Amino acid sequence: MENKARVILHIDMNSFYASVEQVHDPSLKGKPLAIAGNPKERRGIIVTCSYEARAYGIYTTMLIPEAKKLCPELIIIPPNFDRYRAASHAFFSLLKEYSEILEPVSIDEGYLDITELSKTRHAMEVVKEIQERIYNELSLPCSIGVAPNKFLAKTASDMKKPMGITVLRKRDVPELLWPLDVITMHGVGKKTAEKLNSIGIFTIEQLAKAESHLLKTTFGINGERMKQKANGNDQRLVDPESIYDTKSVGNSTTLPYDVTEPKEIEDVLYTLSEKVSNRLKGKGLVGTTISTQIRYNDWKNQTNSRTINNGTDETGKIFDIARDLVMEHWKEKPVRLLGVTVGNVIDKTDRTEQLSIFSFEQHLKDEPIVNVMSQLERKFGEGIIQRGVKGKRPGKYQANTSFSKDFLDDFK
């Protein structure tokens, strides 16, 4: 049963990249500012923007030409990931002063359990102090949600931005959350909302009161989880160890023009596969499921995947499967975006390769080496030679995508 005495904070930095840039260059403060890619290419998509820019209707993922139409004086600068990484590290270091039970979830947000601290200090005093220190010491604004569990804390932090502090208790759920559309609930995306609508569920209240059997039939185990959250229940603990849980590694790219030639598609897939491979190797991971994403010029998405027996981090293997998947399922329509992801990842040193007719020959080739190793160990002692040494994983990788997740390696 959920511990109602728990005090969980969700701290969410406001317009993080833009705010960091305004700290770096004070002349940008109070001006409409956007962080984006190359404005000359179509991949120039708004990564984030200041609240001054949002007042013009500009939002994340908007194309630069559209944003410039809304606000001709919009200032656009490219992202500086080293700068954001340093600011993020300072932010989380400050939070850790209050509790070791800290769970970073992306570069600019995290959960903090201050239950123990709240036994000696008033919780709201602590919350206000955290917000003030982040602003005074780092010059960065943040919003904080205060609740008895992670779901409500995350929901609360979204309620007032920028520089908001919102307390959300379970008893507030019927009044504050239930009247809202299901798509506004944290964890419910567009497709899930459409599926809920198709079975007659349009509000969070309807989800909270829905028949469990209906939800399980439609969504599996996730149906009951959604219902519990709609009732304000969430038994997940703030988990500092979660930063070690990588489920997948992927890269995608928006193409500078619509691509229709197979050779061009293959070239892009190879580059993406190479980047994914580099990041897997940097993390010391291998994966068994290769997935591809195609976004056509009409914005429709198509995803396909294939699972292999033995985990891989090799560019060639990833590329071969990605190419086969895309070429098998491509509808020969102009392509706007391509993505490659390796999922079901595990630590490389934990991999146990399954012998098969395809790998047996390689094991035969390795046999003389194994014999030499055995002789050396008999002479000098077991463990003198290790076939694979697990070294320290580097904190940065050759690909800068998925940066908001890769930064977590700084805390490992």
- What residue ranges do the domains of the chain occupy? 1-167, 173-230, 246-354+391-411
CATH topology assigned to domain 246-354+391-411? Dna Ligase; domain 1 (3.30.1490)
Q: How confident is the model at residue 135 (pLDDT cuts 50, 70, 90)?
A: very high
Pick the most confident of 108-117, 234-243, 255-264, 390-399.
108-117
Give yes or no for a contact between 348 and 303, defined as CB atoms under 8 angstroms apart.
Answer: no
Q: Is 94 exposed, middle or buried (0-12, 13-18, 19+ CB in 10 A)?
A: middle
In the predicted model, is pLDDT for residue 146 greater than 70?
Answer: yes
366 is in an annotated binding site: no
**Span 250-264, mean pLDDT?**
91
350 is in an annotated binding site: no
In the predicted model, is pLDDT for residue 409 greater than 80?
Answer: no
* Beta carbons within 8 Å of 313's beta carbon, 6+ residues apart: 277, 280, 281, 285, 286, 287, 342, 348
CATH architecture, domain 173-230: Orthogonal Bundle (1.10)
Backbone angles phi, psi at 400, to 5 degrees: -95, 0
What strands lie across the sheet with 33-36, from one edge to the other? 46-49, 33-36, 75-77
CATH number (3.40.50.10860, 3.30.70.270, 3.30.360.10, 3.20.20.70) of 1-167 reads 3.30.70.270
* Number of separate helices (H) and strands (E) present in the chain: 15, 12
Peptide bond into 162 cis (omega under 30): yes
Give the whole-angstrom CA distance, residue 164 versus residue 141.
Answer: 9
Give yes or no for a contact between 255 and 268, defined as CB atoms under 8 angstroms apart.
Answer: yes
Dig out the tokens for 382 from the structure: 């077991």
In the predicted model, is pLDDT for residue 39 greater than 60?
Answer: no
Dig out the tokens for 21 from the structure: 């840039």
pLDDT tens-digit map of 322-376: 999 999 999 899 999 999 999 988 887 665 444 444 444 444 444 455 455 555 5
Average pLDDT, the chain: 86
pLDDT tens-digit map of 316-326: 999 999 999 99
The reply to whether 109 belongs to the active site is yes
Proportion of the chain in helix, strand, coil states, percent, rounded to 5: 45, 20, 35
Q: How confident is the model at residue 242 (pLDDT cuts 50, 70, 90)?
A: confident
Give yes or no for a contact between 143 and 164, defined as CB atoms under 8 angstroms apart.
Answer: yes
C-alpha dihedral (151, 156, 161, 164), degrees to nearest 10: -130
**Span 183-193, mean pLDDT?**
92
Q: Is 79 exposed, middle or buried (0-12, 13-18, 19+ CB in 10 A)?
A: middle
Question: Catalytic one among 21, 52, 103, 109?
Answer: 109
In the chain, % of residues over pLDDT 70: 82
In the predicted model, is pLDDT for residue 3 greater than 50?
Answer: no
- Number of CB atoms found within 10 A of residue 92's CB: 20
Collapsing DSSP to helix, strand or coil, 129 comes out as helix
Q: How confident is the model at residue 10 (pLDDT cuts 50, 70, 90)?
A: very high
